[in-house]
Amino acid sequence: MNIVVLVKQVPDTATERKLTSDDKTLDRAASDGVINELDEYAIEEGLLLKEKHGGEVTILTMGPEQATDSIRKALSMGADKAVHVSDEALHGSDALQSAYALSRALGRIEFDLVVLGSESTDARTGVMGAALAEYLGVPQLTLADKVDVDGQAIKVQRLTDYGYDVVEAELPAVVSVVEKINEPRYPSFKLIMQAKKKPVEKLTIADAEIDAARVGLANATTETVDVAPAPPRAAGTIVKDEGEGGVKIAEFLAEKKFV
């Protein structure tokens, strides 16, 4: 089975994240880049499926040169090879433009399954899996916390408000995974060494036949009008519990008309 796992490099959530003041895009210089947390679950799921059904795991990343670090990390978890779409023309692409560009890159890769994290910690739009399935014209099996493949049939548990749906489809398909699906492995020393020799194919937008008029900040379908730090919350009242803590909260809630 040919499995492609999408990996996005995002700013570390433990650092202060910013948008640039000039074009209001992500300030990649301000924070360290790390693999989007949910993508680690996607990589793990891809590896588990490969271990069970055979085949290959290819990492697909779109992003600037520095995303190479995240690609190496993904390869050191055990993926076989990677494709890195990197082009200045992609700078400032919004979620749907990115989905379009990735769908073009996927058009060059033979795949049975595309696996990705259900959202990224930076933009958190949560639309990528759905938009990709739409562009690719393949079934959408998103928000999965369990994935089973049997020949050409795939079955997932899709998280819902009330529990989960069982969803079935035929491959090829797009699967997005949620946090609790598995426990991502740590790279072993041996795999880290091997990862350095694994092939990473670099693609420009021309290589991937991505239409330059459909990507990049100038052609974005959405515009960030302004950016400002959130106004600080007014300092609250903090008291030490001396036996009356609960009563004091009740008084606060009464004042705010919650009780």
Partner 1 sequence: MAEVLVLVDHVDGEVKKVTTELLTAARRLGEPAAVWIGEGADTGSAKLAEYGAEKVYVAPAEFNDYVVAPAAELLAKLAGDASAAAVLVSATPENKEVAGRTAVKLGSGVLTDAVDVSAEGVTEHSIFGGGTITHAKVTSGVPVIAVRPNSVPAEESPAAGAREEVSLELSDAAKGAKVTDRVVQEKGARPELTEAAIVVSGGRGVGSDDFSVVESLADSLGAAVGASRAAVDSGWYPNQFQVGQTGKTVSPNLYVALGISGAIQHRAGMQTSKNIVAVNKDPEAPIFELADFGVIGDLHKVAPQLTEEISKRK
Strand partners, 140: 174
Tell me the backbone φ, ψ of residue 116, rounded to 5 degrees. Answer: -145, 165
Tell me the closest approach of the beta carbon of residue 198 to partner 1, in angstroms: 28
Strand partners, 173: 113
Residue 105 vs residues 46, 136, 174, 219, 240: alpha-carbon distances, Å? 18, 11, 14, 19, 58
Say if residues 35 and 9 touch (Cβ distance below 8 Å). Answer: yes
Single-letter amino acid code for the residue at 149: V
Say if residues 212 and 90 touch (Cβ distance below 8 Å). Answer: no
Tell me how far apart the alpha carbons of residues 171 and 152 are, in angstroms, rounded to a whole number: 5
Tell me the backbone φ, ψ of residue 29, rounded to 5 degrees. Answer: -80, -20
Going by C-alpha positions, the residue among 113, 106, 110, 118 that lies closest to residue 154 is 113
Q: Residue length, the chain?
A: 259
C-beta atoms surrounding 2 within 10 Å: 17
Could you tell me which residues come within 8 angstroms of residue 41 by beta carbon, excluding any fewer than 6 positions away? Answer: 117, 177, 178, 179, 181, 182, 184
Strands 113-117 and 9-11: unpaired
| Separation of first and last alpha carbons in the chain | 58
